[in-house]
């Protein structure tokens, strides 16, 4: 089974930093782009970032571009999201997902593999 376990969230002040991690298992990790999405209370799920299979191409939502960095370690089956200059509007539960921005919704439905996510709270 596909398993994705997010970690690294917490409470941070505006302007602070956090590094999120996603541990993946149950599939050929290197064969898929990986994505981070987030969902704040009362809001739609928002795509945040995607990294390709080799880790040499990355993509970001305009709202986080320049502040977040996605990376992956294929030897460890992990993907990370380094977040800096955090803002209150970054407050959300962050999830990792299989596939790129166009694929992840269907892939995650197919594999029924949403994890618990990790809570990020940016507050003074």
Q: How confident is the model at residue 56, as a pLDDT? A: 97
- Whether residue 40 contacts residue 117, with contact meaning beta carbons closer than 8 Å, is answered with no
Tens digit of pLDDT for each residue in 24-60? 999 999 999 999 999 999 999 999 999 999 999 999 9
How far is CA 45 from each of CA 41, 93, 116, rounded to the nearest angstrom? 10, 9, 14
**Burial class of residue 68, CB neighbours in 10 A (0-12, 13-18, 19+):** buried
The token duo for 82 is 């380094």
Q: How confident is the model at residue 17, as a pLDDT? A: 98
Tens digit of pLDDT for each residue in 60-114? 999 999 999 999 999 999 999 999 999 999 999 999 999 999 999 999 999 988 9
The token duo for 95 is 């999830």
Q: How confident is the model at residue 76, as a pLDDT? A: 98
């Amino acid at each position: 089974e596909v398993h994705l376990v997010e970690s690294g969230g917490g409470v941070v002040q505006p302007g602070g930093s956090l590094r999120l991690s996603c541990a993946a298992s149950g599939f050929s990790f290197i064969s898929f782009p990986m994505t981070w999405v987030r969902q704040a209370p009362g809001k739609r799920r928002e795509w945040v970032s995607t990294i390709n299979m080799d880790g040499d191409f990355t993509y970001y939502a305009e709202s986080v571009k320049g502040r977040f960095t996605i990376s992956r370690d294929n030897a460890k089956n992990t993907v990370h999201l380094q977040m800096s200059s955090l803002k209150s509007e970054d407050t959300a539960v962050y999830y990792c997902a299989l596939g790129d921005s166009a694929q992840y919704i269907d892939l995650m439905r197919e594999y029924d593999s949403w994890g618990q996510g990790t809570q990020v709270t940016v507050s003074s």
